[in-house]
Amino acid sequence: MDEDALRDYLPTAFGGSNTENDLEAQMEKARRLGFEKKYREEFIDSDDDDEDDEYPVSHELVFKTHDRAVTSITLDTAGARMITGSTDCSLKFHDFASLAPNTIRAFKTVDPTATKTSATSETHPIHTVKFNPSTGSQVLVVSATPQARVLSRDGETEFETVKGDMYLRDMNMTKGHVSEITCGTWHPTNSEQFVTAGTDSTLRIWDLNIRTRQKDIIVHKSKQAGAAGRSRMTAVAWGVEPEGSKTMLVSAALDGSLLMWPGEGPYHRPSAEVKNAHTPDTWTSGLDISSDGRLIVSRGGDDMIKTWDTRKLKTPINSTPHPSTAQQYPTSNIIFAPNSTAILTGSAVGSLYILNPATLKPERVTPVTFAVPLITVQWHPKLNQIITGSANAETHVLFDPKTSSKGAVSILSRLPKRRHIDDDASLTTDYDNLGVSGDAILNPGTSSEGIQSATYASRHPTIGLTASGKSRDPRRPHIPAQTPFSKSAPSEEHIRERIAFSDMRTEDPREALLKYADKAKDDPMFTKAWSKTQPKTVYADLSDEEDTNARKKKKTGERS
């Protein structure tokens, strides 16, 4: 046998091989130059393709794990775990350390508002999800309910706020929110406190050690709301004052006002208030405080972005027009960069705007989701990566291999995992040439044109089922078992042959009883006890003439 041919046929080593060139090509697939060039040609009409490495937006990685719009994103302090919330009423947990280019998926799905005991419980969209900045081990979840929840980093409920009495008029007397909570955030330094803003015109400060009621309550009495004096609180931010020793609370209301309180109290009246910060009856969805505590940025439903000085909260420093998406997506946010040198927000056409905080002029406009609203934005300081959530259920992680670390960079630095023969193809996500995760499945017996997006049910066909096959998912109604009668209408012949005594439906009841008359007379099993005790009937013998006369008298009423 030819030894050279055998040597070429057999592998030189077992296990993973060193394919450094493949890793470099894999990273190059995530480059976004082609997409930005297309955007410039169609919208900006500029041929300037110079790269600006100041912002990590040169590459991207896409997570397609939700079924509906992504409304909130959070990452822990180490940048190892990412949680996304959506209008599909679910939280998706992603662990960067366990992902590879062909396994981009969520390792856990949690519905925080669903109960395990009730199969008909309602589920609600997610408004806010935030990791505790002090510990990174707890997650604040605000959904479209009067109760907020604190989960562990693994999705287990640890704390749930109480619901107030909706029949009490004085909000100071209720123990919790009486209507939907719009947003919430953690205390910047105290890991056991957080604040929630509700549509009941209150801000409520909660302590994890107090489970029966809120720790403090701030009631906003709006003069523009008339006699009721209530206005929905649309946004809240908790930051550090410029001196750095104290904190401050800033909130926006539906009446257009911007209010600020001392973070540690007292909360009887705001320390500063701007009544017409934005147009009344417009939803101010975005609100953030800079890291040094000197600036506040607000994004209103009146298509305006404004910056404010916390030391003189009377008039805005700068303002710029910016189309709002708050009417359709009330959780559209705006944030400061980690070093407060830039302001980030999304747009209705799917572009990421990076603004100068001094002038509010765009320093970089980069497209993320073409012609699809960009709802939420986050910039992780340790990873130096920008994470965005869009209305098309996509989560984009923007990064630069030169300045970013871990996160998406670590995912693309790994070799694709080898597929085992027993692996379910619907539980993995392939990474295509456009830098976008192709989360799709191919139905058996269809062509390549029959590819459909993988839903939660297709990716997890057996999770949450009991031994009898019933789903434990409260969002999925119980499907009754199909019987031969529910498939089609049975024929009369089928009923007569298969169902006993079914012919009794068409039988005359009188005839059915009379056919047992002779048998009852010969064998009086039920009436023989009366045969000796009942009297015999005796009738008088009348002739035909007497009988006829008696009937005539009875008709005329004559007496004999």
Q: Is 38 a residue whose pLDDT tops 90?
A: no
Task: Give the model's pLDDT for residue 452.
Answer: 39
Q: Which of 78-87, 246-255, 268-277, 469-478 has the lowest mean pLDDT?
A: 469-478
Higher-confidence residue of 346 and 416: namely: 346
Set out the domains of the chain in order of their start, with CATH numbers.
146-335 (2.130.10.10)
pLDDT, tens only, 343-359: 999 999 999 999 999 99
Region 182-198: mean pLDDT is 95
Task: Give the model's pLDDT for residue 450.
Answer: 37
Q: Is 59 a residue whose pLDDT tops 60?
A: yes
Q: Is 278 a residue whose pLDDT tops 90?
A: yes
Q: Is 36 a residue whose pLDDT tops 70?
A: no
d(CA 40, CA 339): 28
Region 204-231: mean pLDDT is 87
Task: Give the model's pLDDT for residue 1.
Answer: 55
Task: Give the model's pLDDT for residue 32.
Answer: 84
d(CA 180, CA 216): 18
Whole-model pTM: value is 0.71
DSSP string, 341-391: S-EEEE-TTSEEEEE-TTT--EEEEEESSTTS-EEEEEEETTTTEEEEEET
Average per-residue pLDDT in the chain? Answer: 81
pLDDT, tens only, 303-330: 999 999 998 888 999 999 999 888 889 9
Higher-confidence residue of 251 and 38: namely: 251
Spatial contact of 322 and 303, defined as CB atoms under 8 Å apart = yes
Region 552-560: mean pLDDT is 62
User: What is the band of 479 on the pLDDT scale with cuts at 50, 70, 90?
Assistant: low
pLDDT, tens only, 135-157: 889 999 999 999 999 999 999 99
Q: Is 18 a residue whose pLDDT tops 80?
A: no
User: What is the band of 198 on the pLDDT scale with cuts at 50, 70, 90?
Assistant: very high
Q: Is 48 a residue whose pLDDT tops 50?
A: no
Task: Give the model's pLDDT for residue 66.
Answer: 92
Region 289-310: mean pLDDT is 94
